[in-house]
A and B are shown apart, each in its own frame.
Chain A
């Protein structure tokens, strides 16, 4: 379980997070929604240990990661899988080498076993036989799926998705959402998804949290958030101008 308590962060004089409090229960998918520039990616970077908080706590199964550095932080990160917004695939490596990379670098598994697992993972995201291609040679949707395969190859307990469907067409958006849902049903990882795709993303969510003005202004089960009487939440969900 991940708990974020009163997290604050400012860049210079500009506050971005003003006391974020959020819980991601074990084995559930929590979607963080909010306007662009509202601090969702900054929150995610805190959870990944890429940015230091000004104050507050982030506990991963009771361990406060805001105080961790070096190998102690890496021990927590080994439990993570991350799908970056851009995919963040290594462009000098082929698709299969990208997927195999975490296993190759973090385990002592035989090369044949790693290759077999990478091919299997590519098959699970619908890219069997595409391993020889390079990231520049495949479409945006394929890159997202490769990124998902790479994030899941170590069978992580916790997976973070940073806007996994940005820039994709509606059919691909639903394909990726269904893929995340199916993989979650199979592997039961805890997931935090930062997304704009409303209401499509709600189909795979257990809970939704809305970040606005540096705070979580609404959080709870999907149906409860959809029925929220908070005008900012309703404006955002309906996509009304000014939200």
Chain B
């Protein structure tokens, strides 16, 4: 009588404790963004930190975005050309590549690349500041560390992600052009002409809204993980891994959601 019910009770208690911890963590995660948005709407904006973050997130991610964008476009050009040539529909290669990049691959792949390049570094930087008491030092100076570390990062994400996505799309289209026109002999006029016919402003807006929201999402997750890092070097390592994995998963989940609701 006493053994089984008490074990059952322990199990229920463990489930309850786990559920509570999840709810508390989600609440803290949401409040973190809410606090940052509140600070963003109340001056002063820390301009120096913001410009440093633009360089950190945007400029520093440029090489990897250029490289991956070019090769993504080249692969797309090659594979779609092979498929379309089976149906004699090579003329649609330009719009197929452009739509795939602008609506889907550009925002998602560039966000994943920036997460690896800048998001992980952001988590590590803020995490190290936390464990070396630099964030405590700001607090006891009566300064709000979120205003210096989180707000500039999220704002930089909002600006840098769409710009880097546009660059990714552009070099991707040029990469596919190299393969399709220069290597496989498709006419230049067909490649670009059909693209102008089929790509609409709503496609560009879909890509824009996706990249903008990814910018907020990635910077939010990565700053949060750094801000609430565990102890020591192992804590920073764990937080960095979690930030990259969580950001990547959320990018794909959010991409599906946005893809469903945006035109």
Contacts and interface: CB of A to CB of B under 8 A. Distances in A.
Interface in A67-91: 74-75, 77-78, 80, 82, 84-86, 88-91
B15 interface: no
A207 to B, nearest CB: 23
B140 A49 contact: yes
Contact of B141 (A75, A89, A91, A106): A106
B133 interface: yes
A68 to B, nearest CB: 12
A77 B142 contact: yes
Interface string A12-24: 0000000000000
A86 B135 CA distance: 12
A105 B144 CA distance: 11
Contacts of B140: 48-50, 77, 80, 82
Contacts of B133: 84-86, 88
Interface string B126-140: 000100111011011
A78 to B, nearest CB: 5
A194 to B, nearest CB: 14
Contacts of A91: 132, 134
Of the four ranges (under 10, 10 to 19, 20 to 34, 35 or more), the interface on chain A belongs to 20 to 34
B141 A105 contact: yes
Contact of B142 (A50, A78, A88): A78
Interface in B110-149: 129, 132-134, 136-137, 139-143
Contacts of B129: 90
A88 B134 contact: yes
A86 B232 CA distance: 13
A74 B132 CA distance: 21
A86 B132 contact: yes
A231 B134 CA distance: 38
With most chain A CB atoms within 10 A of its CB, the pick from B139, B140, B141, B143 is B140
Interface residues of B, number: 11
Chain B contact residues: helix, strand, loop or mixed:
helix
B125 to A, nearest CB: 8
A118 to B, nearest CB: 14
Nearest to B125: A92
A105 B148 CA distance: 11
Nearest to B48: A104
A90 B132 CA distance: 9
With most chain A CB atoms within 10 A of its CB, the pick from B132, B133, B139, B142 is B142
Nearest to A78: B142
A102 interface: yes
A191 B143 CA distance: 21
A78 B143 CA distance: 9
Contacts of A50: 136, 139-140
A231 to B, nearest CB: 34
Nearest to A74: B142
A80 B142 CA distance: 9
Nearest to B49: A92
Contacts of A106: 141-143
A19 B136 CA distance: 25
A88 B141 contact: no
A40 to B, nearest CB: 15
A145 to B, nearest CB: 16
A102 B141 contact: yes
A88 to B, nearest CB: 4
A85 to B, nearest CB: 7
B225 to A, nearest CB: 19
Contacts of B139: 48-50, 77
Contacts of A77: 139-142
Contacts of B143: 102, 105-106
B250 to A, nearest CB: 28
A214 to B, nearest CB: 22
Contacts of A84: 133, 136-137
A82 B137 contact: yes
B179 to A, nearest CB: 43
Contacts of A49: 139-140
A151 B199 CA distance: 59
Nearest to A160: B140
Given A84-B136, A91-B134, A105-B141, 9 more contacts: A48-B136, A48-B140, A50-B140, A77-B139, A77-B140, A84-B133, A86-B133, A88-B132, A101-B141
Interface of B: 129, 132-134, 136-137, 139-143
6 contacts: A50-B136, A50-B140, A82-B137, A90-B129, A105-B143, A106-B141
The 3 closest A-B pairs by CB, nearest first: A74-B142, A88-B133, A88-B137
